[in-house]
């Protein structure tokens, strides 16, 4: 999922996560602030809360309405994950547990029989049935919602398909899923929000529903004050393991992460998973035990669209490699981020099984100024000199300025061109600009895992035609390897194929890997039981307000 925040040495690895992930997957399935600055002026947040004792957390304005299959970015995703529930969910360590599903049983090589728990309901009291899931999934594909590619493994998936052949309703609580090929990890993917159910009203009026959704998860929406905050409260109809341990969550939309940090220190913000880089030298002393630093399944890169002048074809490959080798990642990681980020060596995350920091082509991610200059000069000679500036586009509400300026300086000093940071005021306007206009130069992209798999970093970001493929990279050989890896008999075989696909990415560099960020989070004196999960976010439902 596209990530809006980055203020986070992912050298440490969850060893138990690595050793036992697949075994676990298969075994389980059977008050207003003084320093507070909002993205836009609006009503006092304490008025919105109406006196309730909400846990106040950092958020960003969702780019879309709150419909699961239309949400593929962090600002909306963290809210959708609290409003809705899927067949399974992931705990703080990334292990899979049944949630709406009573059981998910494999029948043959390619078919799964899903039995729902009894008496499941949405927040308005309407029933969640097998048909709810099937109708939701078919609608996502038929209407080309942003996450429709996550259904591509199901038999009958295709452009314009109204009803996928592989989905069959058996009775009110039972349906079957037939895949086009065996995919052993398919059940573990079902905790991602693309697969969450929505009621019929969402299919009849998705725009209206997205503004005020009816949900089936731990929380229900109370109010959404655009560009200011969004408040959710416990859903009394929810009966699962993620029951809210608080009166609700207020997602406060800040224009600047430093303002959020000042509010945290003043106990006007309760949880912050993104301590700003300006505080990396002092946050441990500032928070005095109310902080946590840990690796997470996250990744930061720069993307360059294939149609950007000077960056298509062979010229583009030469220039992207030159830019990559012109970036001193090690120095930036230490001087800007105080070791809380590790230079990227490939396109996934060190916390995932199968990670390999020595793949062929990884030398293109080394700081090599002489090689960078030669490649840039070769491109100039063959295709004409590069003229003008090279902007690095980013959103300012995600604490991106320091690293973007540092990367730009490194490129400028090495290649002798004018690379500059180009800020957008917030993540929503940044992503809207990406979708409606062609950004010159590079633009900040990032990913945090939807489910614990290397494939989740690779397929959704680089497969031909998918929504999150920001560079519009297209390589049939890569696409074929992803299909084969998805169908591998076990995790080890899948990792080999995923890494073969990564070798193509390291050769072509459709995006330029930068860093693996840590979670660098903290909390106020007003809360307890705060932890951060395997993909860097607070476990919101577990936080207790004093």
**pLDDT for position 4:** 54
pLDDT per residue as tens digits for the range 371-391: 999 999 999 999 999 999 999
pLDDT per residue as tens digits for the range 435-453: 777 778 999 999 989 999 9
Q: How far is the C-alpha of 95 from the C-alpha of 451, rounded, in Å?
A: 10
Q: How far is the C-alpha of 218 from the C-alpha of 121, rounded, in Å?
A: 12
pTM: 0.84
Residues 6+ apart with CB under 8 A from 480: none
* Percent of residues, the chain, with pLDDT higher than 90: 83
Q: How far is the C-alpha of 308 from the C-alpha of 316, rounded, in Å?
A: 9
CA distance to 177, 417, 429, 492, per residue, from 381 (Å): 55, 15, 37, 44
Task: Report the length, in residues, of the chain.
Answer: 546
Paired tokens of 109: 């090589």
Max CA distance (Å), the chain = 69
pLDDT per residue as tens digits for the range 40-72: 333 344 444 445 799 999 999 999 999 999 999
Q: What is the mean pLDDT of residues 156-165?
A: 95
Q: In 3-state terms, what secondary structure has residue 254? A: strand
Residues forming a β-bridge with 389: 418
Question: In this predicted structure, which of 161-165, 250-254, 487-491, 537-541 has the lowest mean pLDDT?
Answer: 487-491
**pLDDT for position 431:** 85
Three-class DSSP labels, 387-440? CCEEEEEEEHHHCCHHHHHHHHHHHHHHHCCEEEEEEECCHHHHHHHHHHCCCC
- The matching CATH number, chosen from 3.40.50.300, 2.40.30.10, 2.30.30.100, 3.10.105.10, for 298-519 is 3.10.105.10
Q: In 3-state terms, what secondary structure has residue 293? A: strand
Q: Which of 350, 300, 323 is nearest to 411 (CA)?
A: 323
Q: How far is the C-alpha of 232 from the C-alpha of 370, rounded, in Å?
A: 54
Q: What is the mean pLDDT of residues 178-198?
A: 96
* Residue ranges of domains in the chain: 38-211, 298-519
pLDDT at 319 over 60: yes
Q: Which of 395, 371, 402, 382 is nearest to 444 (CA)?
A: 395
Beta pairing, strands 249-253 & 442-448: unpaired
**pLDDT for position 2:** 60
432: number of CA atoms within 13 Å, CB side?
A: 10
**pLDDT for position 427:** 86
pLDDT at 159 over 60: yes
Residue 262 belongs to what H/E stretch? Answer: helix 257-265
Q: How far is the C-alpha of 326 from the C-alpha of 411, rounded, in Å?
A: 5
**pLDDT for position 26:** 38
Q: With beta carbons less than 8 A apart as the criterion, state whether 8 and 244 touch.
A: no
pLDDT per residue as tens digits for the range 258-290: 999 999 999 999 999 999 999 999 999 999 999
* SS3 of the chain: helix, strand, coil, percent, to 5: 35, 20, 45
**pLDDT for position 40:** 35
478: number of CA atoms within 13 Å, CB side?
A: 22
Q: What is the mean pLDDT of residues 112-132?
A: 99
Q: How far is the C-alpha of 220 from the C-alpha of 215, rounded, in Å?
A: 6
Residues forming a β-bridge with 38: 254
Q: How far is the C-alpha of 175 from the C-alpha of 168, rounded, in Å?
A: 5
Q: How far is the C-alpha of 224 from the C-alpha of 246, rounded, in Å?
A: 19
How many other CB atoms sit within 10 Å of the CB of residue 7?
30
How buried is residue 416: exposed, middle or buried, by Cβ count under 10 Å (0-12/13-18/19+)? Answer: exposed
Q: How far is the C-alpha of 145 from the C-alpha of 136, rounded, in Å?
A: 11
pLDDT per residue as tens digits for the range 459-475: 999 999 988 898 999 99
Q: Which of 423, 446, 419 is nearest to 433 (CA)?
A: 423
List alpha helices for 437-475, DSSP H.
Answer: 454-462
Confidence of residue 9 (pLDDT cuts 50, 70, 90): very low
Q: With beta carbons less than 8 A apart as the criterion, state whether 259 and 54 touch.
A: no
Angle between helices 369-383 and 313-325 (to 10 degrees): 160
Paired tokens of 193: 């929000």
Phi, psi of 73 (to 5 degrees): -135, 160
**pLDDT for position 428:** 84
Question: In this predicted structure, which of 9-18, 126-135, 498-507 has the lowest mean pLDDT?
Answer: 9-18
DSSP strand E in 108-173: where? 111-116, 167-171
Beta pairing, strands 55-59 & 249-253: parallel
Paired tokens of 514: 């930068």
Q: Which of 267, 259, 258 is nearest to 288 (CA)?
A: 267
Q: With beta carbons less than 8 A apart as the criterion, state whether 527 and 304 touch.
A: no
Confidence of residue 291 (pLDDT cuts 50, 70, 90): very high
Superfamily holding 38-211: Dipeptide-binding Protein; Domain 1 (3.90.76.10)
Q: Which of 366, 319, 324, 251 is nearest to 5 (CA)?
A: 251
Q: What is the DSSP letter of 501?
A: H
Q: What's the Rg (C-alpha) of the chain?
A: 23
How many other CB atoms sit within 10 Å of the CB of residue 489?
9
Cβ density class 379-413: b for 16+ within 10 Å, e for less: bbeebeebeeebbbbbbbbbbbbbbbbbbbbbbbe
pLDDT per residue as tens digits for the range 323-341: 999 999 999 999 999 999 9
Q: What is the mean pLDDT of the chain?
A: 90
Residue 188 CA, chain-centre distance (Å), reads 17
**pLDDT for position 398:** 79
Q: What is the DSSP letter of 510?
A: S
pLDDT at 114 over 90: yes
How buried is residue 503: exposed, middle or buried, by Cβ count under 10 Å (0-12/13-18/19+)? Answer: middle
């Amino acid at each position: 999922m596209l990530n809006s925040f980055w203020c986070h040495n992912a050298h440490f690895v969850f060893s138990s996560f690595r050793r036992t992930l697949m075994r676990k997957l298969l075994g389980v399935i059977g008050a207003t602030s003084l320093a507070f600055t909002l993205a836009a002026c609006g009503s006092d947040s304490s008025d919105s809360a109406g006196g309730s004792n909400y846990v106040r957390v950092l958020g960003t304005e969702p780019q879309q309405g709150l419909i699961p299959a239309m949400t593929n970015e962090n600002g909306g995703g963290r809210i959708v994950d609290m409003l809705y529930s899927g067949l399974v969910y992931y705990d703080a360590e990334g292990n899979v547990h049944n949630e709406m599903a009573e059981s998910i049983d494999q029948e043959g090589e390619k078919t799964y029989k899903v039995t729902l728990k009894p008496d499941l309901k949405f927040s308005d009291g309407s029933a969640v049935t097998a048909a709810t899931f099937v109708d939701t999934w078919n609608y996502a594909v038929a209407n080309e919602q942003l996450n429709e590619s996550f259904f591509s493994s199901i038999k009958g998936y295709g452009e314009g398909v109204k009803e996928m052949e592989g989905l069959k309703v058996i009775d009110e609580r039972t349906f079957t899923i037939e895949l086009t090929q065996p995919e052993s990890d398919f059940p573990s993917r079902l905790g991602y929000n693309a697969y969450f159910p929505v009621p019929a009203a969402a299919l009849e009026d998705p725009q209206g529903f997205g503004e005020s959704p009816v949900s089936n998860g731990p929380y229900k929406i109370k109010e959404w004050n655009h560009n200011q905050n969004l408040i959710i409260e416990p859903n009394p109809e929810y009966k699962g393991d993620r029951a809210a341990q608080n009166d609700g969550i207020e997602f406060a939309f800040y224009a600047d992460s430093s303002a959020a940090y000042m509010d945290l220190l003043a106990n006007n913000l309760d949880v912050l998973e993104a301590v700003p880089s300006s505080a990396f030298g002092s946050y441990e002393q500032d928070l005095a035990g109310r902080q946590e630093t840990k690796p997470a399944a996250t990744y930061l890169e720069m993307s360059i669209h294939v149609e950007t002048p000077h960056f298509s074809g062979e010229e583009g490959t030469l220039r992207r490699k030159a830019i990559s080798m012109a970036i001193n990642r090690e120095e930036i990681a230490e001087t800007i981020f105080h070791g809380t980020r590790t230079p990227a060596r490939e396109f996934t995350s060190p916390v995932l099984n199968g990670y390999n920091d020595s793949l062929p082509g990884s030398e293109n991610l080394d700081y090599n100024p002489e090689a960078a200059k030669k490649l840039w000069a070769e491109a100039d000679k063959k295709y004409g000199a590069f003229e003008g500036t090279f902007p690095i586009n980013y959103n300012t509400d995600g604490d991106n300025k320091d690293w973007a300026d540092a990367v730009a300086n490194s490129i400028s000093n090495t290649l002798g061109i004018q690379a500059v940071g180009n800020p957008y005021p917030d993540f929503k306007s940044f992503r809207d600009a990406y979708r409606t206009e062609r950004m010159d130069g590079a633009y900040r992209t990032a990913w945090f895992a939807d489910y614990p798999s290397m494939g989740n970093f690779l397929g959704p970001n680089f497969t031909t035609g998918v929504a999150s493929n920001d560079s519009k990279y297209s390589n049939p050989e890569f696409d074929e390897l992803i299909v084969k890896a998805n169908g591998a008999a076990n995790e080890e075989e899948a990792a080999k194929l995923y890494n073969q696909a990564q070798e193509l990415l390291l050769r072509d560099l459709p995006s330029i890997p930068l860093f693996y960020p840590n979670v660098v989070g903290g909390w106020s004196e007003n809360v307890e039981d705060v932890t951060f999960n395997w993909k860097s976010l607070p476990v919101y439902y577990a936080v207790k307000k004093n």
